[in-house]
Amino acid sequence: MISPLEKPFFPGGKVRHAAVSGKDKELIIKLEQLNIQPIITVPSKNLDNPVSDHTDMLLYINNKTITADKSQYDNFVKFLTIGYGFNVYNETIGSPYPFDCRLNTLALGKSFFYNEKTTDNKIIDYYLNNSVKPIKVNQGYIKCAICPVTDNAFITDDTSIYNAAVDNGFDALLVSKGSVKLKGYDYGFIGGCTGLIDKNVLLFNGDINYHSDCNKIIDFLSIYNVKAEIITNKALYDVGSIIPLTYEV
């Protein structure tokens, strides 16, 4: 049986379908080897080419609602609305900042991380109307910069997110920038190269041993009994996050 996402973050069970960029063929092959069907984003002409197909830029999913750039209609919207009864809200995302990161945000547990200058107002209103605690941060690329581990623990390479998380009772690990690559930019983000594919399995797009804070990350994951699944002999690369869509239960 396959179940759609029905909770703010991770409901448990192995991921069956995942939203992902199609540029990295090794990642696609890895997902298929793990019996996870990749649903590929359509590159948006409104975004800079290196991030034009990044899932965390193009769509935001919560409960049974998807807010997505109009370019994603033929794959994600039809897949989730027809197959799983999701509601859909269309948005137009485009460069430059801050218009490119309106959907790049994240809810964990009963909290919601957002930037009031960049986050889409419909998403903010949804959480405010559903008694989810808002946590303001300065970073606009929020999902890019957060690698969730549990509903109350995550890894980040952004100081403002880390400070806000600790102040609000989260267990957060702050790691250095520079170990995650992204063509056309000085660096990518830790959240952008990862995704939970099972309750206790975190997939890295690349090899975690290439990260300068590898030991810290492994130790942090072990606290929560989470295993690092990697693509070997490959530097970590930001693909815009591996976002779960449906689960096996």
pLDDT per residue as tens, the chain (249 positions): 333 333 434 556 799 999 999 999 999 999 999 999 999 999 999 999 999 999 999 999 887 788 889 888 777 777 778 878 888 888 889 999 999 999 999 999 899 999 999 999 989 998 989 889 999 999 999 999 999 999 999 999 999 999 999 999 999 999 999 999 999 999 999 999 999 999 899 999 999 999 999 999 999 999 999 999 999 999 999 999 999 988 886
CA distance to 5, 90, 155, per residue, from 11 (Å): 7, 25, 19
Q: pTM of this prediction? A: 0.93
Q: Which amino acid is at 31?
A: L
Report d(CA 117, CA 229) in Å as an integer: 35
Look-up: residue for tokens 């991380």? 113
Residue 207's Cβ-count burial label (10 Å; 0-12, 13-18, 19+) is middle
Report d(CA 80, CA 61) in Å as an integer: 10
Q: What's the 3-state SS for 90-123?
A: EECCCCCCCCCCCCCCEEECCEEEECCCCCCHHH
Question: Which domains, ranges and CATH numbers included, belong to the chain?
Answer: 2-248 (3.75.10.10)
Residue 92's Cβ-count burial label (10 Å; 0-12, 13-18, 19+) is exposed
Which tokens is 92 given? 């137009």
